[in-house]
Amino acid sequence: MRALRAEGRRALVCYVTAGHPTPADSVRLIRELPAAGCDVLEVGIPFSDPLADGPIIQGSSQKALAQGVNLERALGIIAEAKASAPVVLFSYLNPLMKAGPDVLARAHAAGVSGVLVTDLPVGADPAREAWLGSGPLEFVRLVAPTTPRERMAEIAKHGSGFVYLISRLGVTGVHQGAAVDVGETVARLRAVCALPICVGFGIAMPEQARRVADVADGVVVGSALVQTVETQGVDAALDLVRAIRAAMDAR
């Protein structure tokens, strides 16, 4: 991300749900998204109670679970795809805990570079946070738009790789515009954080991504991509990523 910024470009982070719409489609997406312009892949682990996710990603998780895709099979999908971009495992805490103490090492061996846990805020469980932070994967932390500056500094201190800044309150989903105060929120976070800052939640269209790329180090696209691959197929999802990449590069 820093290398991209030095070139005047920004990172495009793409979220896909492992095993959705099918395991074969998932392998193809993970393999081909980097060539379409994706710089970092977030691979979501299907979970039965995805509280932070909106209906699109919830639905994709349920469809993947119905096909038998759990964390172990997700690692197999990642290993088979052999992505040419860094992969961040996007998970709730429960699947990681059930997978055993060596799950981070197994994920790394499968080709994963980072992990983001949606329901583990800083200070909530120091032992598990230490386990995640001392493992072989970068430990990406979440920051909400309402987070006070002092709390932002604490979160940044306990994370690595990049910081995922949520652009709006609520669950994931497709919205018509990014939060209007995202620039101010990025500025507050950047004042206390040396890590690259990626902004997500609700970014669905090229113009939205371009505006966010004006202030952040990276742009996260999730629900729009998941929805497109389900309703229109893998090729259409790749075309969406190409369009978003072109808009970000045209800044």
For the domain that residue 141 is a member of, what is the CATH number?
3.20.20.70
User: How far lies 248's CA from each of 11, 161, 214, 241, 242, in Å?
Assistant: 9, 21, 8, 11, 10
For CA atoms 16, 18, 20, 23, give the dihedral sign.
positive
Measured in degrees and rounded to the nearest 5, phi and psi for residue 43 equal -110, 115
Range of the domain at 142: 2-249
Q: Choosing from 39, 53, 129, 217, which is the catalytic residue?
A: 53
Give the per-residue pLDDT at 170: 45
Q: Choosing from 32, 42, 138, 217, which is the catalytic residue?
A: 42
Give the per-residue pLDDT at 21: 97
Give the per-residue pLDDT at 173: 43
Strands 40-44 and 87-91: parallel
For CA atoms 248, 11, 43, 167, give the dihedral sign.
negative
Mark whether 239 is an active-site residue.
no
Place of tokens 């229109």: 232
Give the per-residue pLDDT at 169: 52
200 three-state secondary structure: strand
Could you list the beta-strand ranges (E) of the chain.
Answer: 11-17, 40-44, 87-91, 114-117, 138-143, 163-166, 197-200, 218-221
Give the per-residue pLDDT at 180: 47
Give the total number of structural domains in the chain.
1
Give the per-residue pLDDT at 2: 83
Mark whether 230 is an active-site residue.
no
Query: Could you read off the pLDDT tens digit of each residue along the chain, which spans 251 residues?
Result: 888 989 999 999 999 999 999 999 999 999 999 999 999 999 999 998 877 678 999 999 999 999 999 999 999 999 999 999 999 999 999 999 999 999 999 999 999 999 999 999 999 999 999 999 999 999 999 999 999 999 999 999 999 999 999 986 544 444 444 444 799 999 999 999 999 999 998 899 999 999 999 999 999 999 999 999 999 999 999 999 999 999 999 98
